[in-house]
Amino acid sequence: MNQQSGCGCHGNQPDEDSALKKMVMVGNPNVGKSALFNRLTGSYVVVSNYPGTTVEVSCGKCRIGVEEFQVEDTPGMYSLLPITEEERVSRDILLAGDAELVLHVVDAKNLKRMLSFTLQLVEAGLPVLLVLNMIDEAKQLKIDIDTRLLEEKLGIPVVAISALSGQGVDTLKEKITAYRPAQSTLELFYGEAVDAALNALAPLMPAARGLSQRTLALLLIQGDTAITAEERELEGRSSDYLDTTLVQLEEQLEESASYRIPMILHQNALKICAETFTPPLNRGKSFANRLSEWSMRPLTGIPILLLVLYFGLYKFVGEFGAGTIVDFLEADLFGEYISPWINNFLMTYIPWQPIRDLLGMDYGIITLGIRYAIAIILPIVGTFFIAFSIIEDSGYLPRLALLVDRVFKKIGLNGRAVIPMTLGFGCDTMATMVTRTLETKRERIIATLLLALAIPCSAQLGVILGMVAEKPGAMAVWAGFMLFIFLFIGFLTARLMPGDRPNFYMEVPPLRMPRPGAVFMKTYTRMQWYFVEILPLFILASVLIWLGKITATFDVVVSWLGHVMGWIGLPKEAAVAFLFGFFRRDYGAAGLFDLQQAGALSGNQLAVAVITLTLFVPCIAQFLIMKKERGLKMASAIALFIFPFAFVIGGLVNALLNVTGIEL
């Protein structure tokens, strides 16, 4: 999720900024593009230690000397030939061709591998400046890079920086100001056959695009479907000619073009690196390396996971956030001071009962909406985001991904889906956006469904943990059931929906010590985003409930829902909480929390209530994002499935507990 992405960088809409020079940052995932973006623009986008954090293009402005630039941060991509949807987004920006400067950001220690992409960019005729990021890490490994010689070999400016510490950023700014497009373009020789095909095809390619005609032809040869489709549409005349040329080329080549071309690029990159990149003689094993190994083996990895869950989620979010802080804010601050004071004030100065009810009393904006938001949700979500930021900055998530890959394959996903899924425990709405990083439509649909159904968001989770903390039995039943439903529904959906099973592959970044400043910044921006989104909804919910009350529809709906409650064995009062749940998952959970604190729920009822509520409809915001990402039809289908399913399962659990005579 990307907090700064609201500025609409997609497309070429004319706006006041169009006069500014445009600077685009591209590069492999997890090389620190977002960190550099923050450095340059002084704004903040989420940076983390795993690939694929940025799924949307973020924009910002940056003043260097007297000139002002519009900077765009793009999702990571490995080469000009996109594999996933977000790589395509990045490539299309380059294709659009209005960038005055392209910053290719690479991880300095992995220059050898990433230089191929630089060569591609230079060959495409783009105005490239190579940024060797994380130079401090490379130096620590005793890697020596000759930037001057590199500049000479590539014919473009090269700067070594560390975006996190700020080292070298001033030099980068100088080079940006001094940048002049290169006079001649580099052209690599891919062998006679490819060359002949390039000469035949390049003139047919659309001119005046961001990428040179030769590069477009190269992509076409490698089977880039987007380019092929576009080309066919553009010129009806030549599709036969195109096909024959491609077939001819294929016959002449010993290996496929999509193998040969990267191979030649790689050989050229190696040749350049041989002179400019000096690796150290030997490498020792640090503690981080050992810890990293432990986290990847099931025998040690699962205990580590349990430790992370126990301390990160249970102790910190559950006990500290949902316990200590909520108790203080809820009972002491609101219960003792604010709510009584507001109610007194209203009773004394406001003579109209409806206005009193709107602001205070049982369901008022302040006594319910704001109280929920500040006293219950804020501490829980806050502690969750702190824990999550620490975990993601440490680089633990990709390690988790490789541990669960085998299990996730059974439910039609692969290890990659761990990132949206864990993020879902923070906010399902954010997570639904991140499902974009998954490779196939099938995976995206399954992930969206599971997020909506079985992954409780942090607020909900925190409240639920707070409620069941005293009843371990209810907690076990809840956790077990949710896991079962997650796997079972995933398994069924995977069976029902045929399709490709994409391979699991993921970069495993080094374990890094999270920096407090970064963790704070990340938590702060996420909280800010969260609050801007939820507070209005909480207030709206209070107003709607108030409206419902004075028109008596609220009571009708509650009494109707009350029947459903009775059927699944819950007290009638729980109906109100479920009604709240329509507005936000956490709002509903907070309502239940109230009820439980009042001692109105038995152990069994608690288990049934939390299971039903966890499964219950996605909140409004999540539904809207589902609609945006998957389309109205799919979003409605998912919601329509979940609604009855939640209650049926609730009833089932209740019946099961009753039949077996278990008292939790």
Can you tell me whether residue 182 is helix, strand or coil?
A: coil
Q: What's the closest the beta carbon of residue 511 comes to another protein, in angstroms?
A: 10
Is 631 a residue that touches another protein (CB under 8 A)?
no
Q: Which two tokens stand for residue 326?
A: 């909520």
Report the candidate in 192, 183, 19 with the shortest Cα–Cα distance to residue 100. Answer: 19
Q: Which residue, 261 or 358, has its beta carbon nearer to another protein?
A: 261
Query: How many residues at the interface with another protein, by CB under 8 A?
Result: 40
Closer Cβ to another protein, 63 or 283, answer by number: 283
String of contacts with another protein for each residue 99-128, x by CB under 8 A: --------x-xx-xx---------------
Binding to another protein by CB under 8 A, coded x per residue (else -) over 266-295, reads x-------------------------xx--
x-marked contacts with another protein along 481-510 as a string, rule CB under 8 A:
----------------------xxxxxxxx
Q: At closest approach, how far in Å is the CB of 317 from another protein?
A: 27
- The yes or no reply on residue 330 touching another protein (CB under 8 A) is no
**Nearest-angstrom CA–CA distance, 77 and 89:** 9
Structure tokens at 379: 């501490």
24 strand-pairing partners: 72, 102
Distance CA 369, CA 658 (A): 36
For 226, counting Cβ atoms within 10 Å of its Cβ (0-12 exposed, 13-18 middle, 19+ buried), the class is middle
Stretch that binds another protein, among 379-387, 408-416, 476-484, 545-553 (CB under 8 A): 408-416
The pairing of strands 58-64 and 67-73 is antiparallel
- Binding residue for another protein, selected from 62, 81, 163, 646, defined by CB under 8 A: 81
Nearer to another protein, 504 or 647 (CB): 504
Least CB distance from residue 166 to another protein, whole Å? 23
Q: How far is the CB of 503 from another protein (least distance, A)?
A: 5
- Smallest distance, another protein to C-beta of residue 273, A: 10
Q: What is the secondary structure of 49-118 as a DSSP string?
A: SSTT---S-EEEEEEETTEEEEEEE----SSSS--SHHHHHHHHHHHH---SEEEEEEEGGGHHHHHHHH
Any residues with CB less than 8 A from the CB of 455 and at least 6 apart, and which?
421, 424, 425, 428, 431, 486
Q: Which is nearer to another protein, 191 or 206 (CB)?
A: 191
Nearer to another protein, 286 or 553 (CB): 286
Q: Which of 415, 424, 581, 650 binds another protein (CB under 8 A)?
A: 415
Torsion angle, alpha carbons of 419, 421, 427, 431, to 10: 60
Instruction: Compute the least distance from the CB of residue 227 to another protein, in Å.
Output: 15
Distance CA 634, CA 656 (A): 32
Region of 7-15, 254-262, 373-381, 459-467 interacting with another protein (CB under 8 A): 254-262
Q: CA 138: distance to chain centroid?
A: 28
Q: Which is nearer to another protein, 260 or 436 (CB)?
A: 260
What phi and psi values does residue 103 have, to the nearest 5 degrees?
-90, 115
Of the pair 229, 263, the CB lying nearest another protein is at 263
Closest CA to 589 of 326, 311, 343: 326
Residue type for position 215: T
Note whether 512 binds another protein by CB under 8 A.
no
Residues 376-405 close enough to bind another protein by CB under 8 A? 398, 401-405
Question: Which residues, 197 to 236, sit near another protein by CB under 8 A?
Answer: 223
Stretch that binds another protein, among 65-73, 259-267, 306-314, 343-351 (CB under 8 A): 259-267
In this complex, which beta carbon is closest to another protein, that of residue 296 or of residue 557? 296
Burial class (CB in 10 A: 0-12, 13-18, 19+), 349: exposed
Could you say which of 191, 206, 262, 473 contacts another protein (CB under 8 A)? 262
CB 179 within 8 A of CB 166: no
Contacts of 443 (CB under 8 A, 6+ apart): 412, 413, 414, 417, 435, 502
Q: Which are the contacts of 546, defined by CB distance < 8 A and separation ≥ 6?
A: 354, 357, 358, 363, 364, 365
Which run of H or E residues covers position 145? strand 144-145
Q: Does 297 bind another protein (CB under 8 A)?
A: yes
Q: Is residue 79 at the binding interface for another protein, with CB under 8 A as the rule? A: yes
Structure tokens that stand for 104 in this block = 């290719």
Does 88 help bind another protein (rule: CB under 8 A)?
no
CB of residue 262 vs another protein: minimum separation in angstroms? 5
Answer for which of 18, 177, 244, 258 binds another protein (CB under 8 A) is 258
- x/- map, 124-153, another protein, by CB under 8 A: -----------------x------------
Is 298 an interacting residue with respect to another protein (CB under 8 A)? Answer: yes
Binding status of residue 78 toward another protein by CB under 8 A: yes
Strand locations in 154-287 (E): 158-160, 277-278
Q: Which is nearer to another protein, 81 or 477 (CB)?
A: 81
Q: Least CB distance from residue 122 to another protein, whole Å?
A: 18
- The footprint of another protein (CB under 8 A) covers 78-79, 81, 83, 107, 109-110, 112-113, 141, 223, 256, 258-259, 262-263, 266, 292-293, 296-298, 398, 401-406, 409, 414-415, 503-510
